[in-house]
Amino acid sequence: MTRRAVIVLAIFVGSALVAAPPSDGKRWWSYIEFLANDQMKGRDTGSPEHLKAAQYVAEQFRNDGLTAAGIQGFIQPVKFKAWKIVEPQCSIELIRGGKPERLTLGEDAFISRGVEPAESVEAPLVFAGYGLTVPEMKYDDFAGLDVRGKVIVMLGGGPSNIPGPLKAHYQNGLERRRFLARAGVIGTVTIQNPNTADVPWSRTALARFQESMELADPALNPPGSLKMTITVNPAHAAQWLDGSGHTVEELLALATAGKPLPHFPLVPSLRAHAKIQTRELVSQNIVAARPGTDPALKSQYVVLSAHIDHVGVGEPINGDRIYNGAMDNASGVATMLDIARTLHDEKIQTKRALLFVIVTGEEKGLLGSRYFAAHPTVPTKSMVADLNADMFLPLYPLHIVTVYGLKESDLGDTLRKVAQSLDVEVQDDPAPQRNVFIRSDQYSFIRVGVPSLMMDDGFKKGSKEEAIEKEWLKTRYHAPSDDLKQPVDLQAAAQYNRLLMKLAETVADDPAPPEWKPDSFFRRFAN
């Protein structure tokens, strides 16, 4: 479809939506129906459908009286370099006593999408525990370990005596790869931990065919030059450890208990070949501003962010190839559109300005938000907070919100007050091992010093709501069934949107901008 035809369609659909009432969640859902229907083909970063979605969002913002705050109107173009694995020409072998043992790709292991793989890698293997360095805790899996020119084998996570936020932060590629480079590691092999993985191996493995991306500007990508990263099926990992005196079961049990892991050389060495196809592409962030009213505060912004990209068309599951991404994250974008509409309809004014930042490339590694943070369209110092919404999962009535970053900044205290006034309970992240606080776009804002938080429709441990969410992650997360046919609680979504809007208003009207807590680990980025 041509660009012009896309815009006409967007205007038509946009005006058809305006009449619906906001309070019952139907208007919110109608935005999702546009963004996540099959014609949108899963809004892959750089795809024509992603562009169509971006233009639709821009059109909604225009209708809501917001001002364009991108580079080309509402749009901020972002350049990417992309690659796709050509698996028939790839191989992973373990060499034991000179003899190759060829692994079955996808079943035993696969070449992961984290780094652009080199054509060939041959190196000794060393088990390096969590492969983690946390300077504040004087924790270093590489201390005294000879890994120069070698490939390390590791498990995700870290020992339980390291606080969650630190552990999460140092597992992020932007940090971890600095230490891998310093230690001279040339590749990593991660054994998936079935006890902490969101999805079963079969779905992890299917994702290897998706296109991987980096920002085109090399200065914005993680440091160092890993030649290859590999992911291993825990059920087929024994081969790697054979002869080392250790078993997968033993190591997984230690990791799950948060205990220290041993370090030891492995008997086989690695020989791997990779063939990739590369291309360059452009995708879109969308940025819209709603002016503030206070002469002293209106030059400051409260950011409301959500990612619009999903993973596109991929390997079929139950005959369906379209990964619609209705909850991930058409839902968060719909929340932003719903809030913008409500602010407009109710003629709500705020002292500070609001900045809606809808980002691309989240699924490729928070790339659109990383680009925006490096090239903000308003001064970094003028952004006083980021409130992010990503897959908040209104699958059941909203009584509790789970908050990521609750104790890190004043935003948590403000949220407590706002939530109380709406009769919603607030709780801290009950599953810090999932690293959610650094797994969505708020992390890009955190890294440039902006206090941030994200919240989800929450549940109590052991409740039926927990079972519903677990089942959702297992069956629908990053699967084609995250589509328009799934059951969603519209009332819960409407409440969530109301709560997030009130929080944004309260932060925007507060005479003092939010601050990181004095003891927050993330405060360092503010200096």
Applying CB under 5 A, which part among 107-115, 153-161, 171-179, 320-328 lies near Zn ion? 320-328
Residue 328 beta carbon to Zn ion: minimum distance, rounded to whole angstroms: 4
Residue 203 beta carbon to Zn ion: minimum distance, rounded to whole angstroms: 12
CA 379 to chain centre: 24
**Between residues 119 and 471, which has the closer beta carbon with respect to Zn ion?**
471
Residue 456 beta carbon to Zn ion: minimum distance, rounded to whole angstroms: 13
The one-letter amino acid code at 410 reads D
Supply 196's token pair.
Answer: 């902490």
Taken as a whole, the chain contains a residue count of 527
**Alpha carbon distance 62, 288 (integer Å):** 8
Residue 491 beta carbon to Zn ion: minimum distance, rounded to whole angstroms: 24
**Between residues 464 and 470, which has the closer beta carbon with respect to Zn ion?**
470
Residue 311 beta carbon to Zn ion: minimum distance, rounded to whole angstroms: 7
* Residues whose CB is less than 8 angstroms from the CB of residue 209 and which lie 6 or more positions away in sequence, other chains included: 84, 85, 87, 314, 315
Binding mask 260-299 for Zn ion (x = CB under 5 A): ----------------------------------------
Applying CB under 5 A, which part among 222-230, 326-334, 344-352, 431-439 lies near Zn ion? 326-334
Which of 440, 173, 406, 168 lies closest to 305 in space, CA to CA? Answer: 440
Residue 472 beta carbon to Zn ion: minimum distance, rounded to whole angstroms: 13
CA 123 to chain centre: 32
Tracing tokens 């309970």 back to the chain, one arrives at 425
**Between residues 328 and 469, which has the closer beta carbon with respect to Zn ion?**
328
- State which of positions 24-63 bind Zn ion (CB under 5 A): none
**Between residues 57 and 391, which has the closer beta carbon with respect to Zn ion?**
391
**Between residues 94 and 308, which has the closer beta carbon with respect to Zn ion?**
308
**Between residues 59 and 328, which has the closer beta carbon with respect to Zn ion?**
328
**Between residues 211 and 328, which has the closer beta carbon with respect to Zn ion?**
328
Omega before 329 cis (within 30°)?
A: yes
**Alpha carbon distance 119, 171 (integer Å):** 26
**Between residues 306 and 501, which has the closer beta carbon with respect to Zn ion?**
306
Is 429 one of the binding residues for Zn ion (CB under 5 A)? no
* Residues whose CB is less than 8 angstroms from the CB of residue 99 and which lie 6 or more positions away in sequence, other chains included: none
* Residues whose CB is less than 8 angstroms from the CB of residue 420 and which lie 6 or more positions away in sequence, other chains included: none
DSSP 3-state assignment of 333?
Answer: helix
Is 328 one of the binding residues for Zn ion (CB under 5 A)? yes
What H or E segment, with its residue span, contains residue 55? helix 48-63
**Alpha carbon distance 456, 224 (integer Å):** 35
Residue 345 beta carbon to Zn ion: minimum distance, rounded to whole angstroms: 30
**Between residues 310 and 502, which has the closer beta carbon with respect to Zn ion?**
310
CA 277 to chain centre: 24
Residue 392 beta carbon to Zn ion: minimum distance, rounded to whole angstroms: 12
Count helices and strands in the chain by DSSP H and E runs: 14, 22
**Between residues 68 and 313, which has the closer beta carbon with respect to Zn ion?**
313
**Alpha carbon distance 364, 478 (integer Å):** 13
Applying CB under 5 A, which part among 24-32, 184-192, 260-268, 324-332 lies near Zn ion? 324-332
**Between residues 210 and 231, which has the closer beta carbon with respect to Zn ion?**
210
Residue 280 beta carbon to Zn ion: minimum distance, rounded to whole angstroms: 23
The closest residue (CB) to Zn ion is 328
Applying CB under 5 A, which part among 89-97, 179-187, 232-240, 327-335 lies near Zn ion? 327-335
Residue 363 beta carbon to Zn ion: minimum distance, rounded to whole angstroms: 5
Residue 206 beta carbon to Zn ion: minimum distance, rounded to whole angstroms: 14
Is 214 one of the binding residues for Zn ion (CB under 5 A)? no
Residue 388 beta carbon to Zn ion: minimum distance, rounded to whole angstroms: 13
Which of 332, 449, 447, 294 lies closest to 384 in space, CA to CA? Answer: 449
Applying CB under 5 A, which part among 152-160, 162-170, 185-193, 325-333 lies near Zn ion? 325-333
**Alpha carbon distance 436, 458 (integer Å):** 14
**Residue 28 · residue 497 · CB < 8 Å:** yes
Applying CB under 5 A, which part among 323-331, 420-428, 432-440, 495-503 lies near Zn ion? 323-331
- 296-299 long-range contacts (CB < 8 A, ≥24 apart) are 297/351, 297/352, 297/508, 297/511, 298/351, 298/352, 298/353, 299/353, 299/382
Q: What is the DSSP string of 337-392?
A: HHHHHHHHHTT---SSEEEEEEES-STTTSHHHHHHHHS-SS-GGGEEEEEE-S--
**Between residues 229 and 440, which has the closer beta carbon with respect to Zn ion?**
440
Which of 261, 267, 356 lies closest to 307 in space, CA to CA? Answer: 356
Which of 112, 69, 285 lies closest to 208 in space, CA to CA? Answer: 112
**Residue 297 · residue 507 · CB < 8 Å:** no
Tell me how many residues contact Zn ion (CB under 5 A): 1
**Between residues 25 and 332, which has the closer beta carbon with respect to Zn ion?**
332
Residue 334 beta carbon to Zn ion: minimum distance, rounded to whole angstroms: 15
Binding site for Zn ion (CB under 5 A): 328
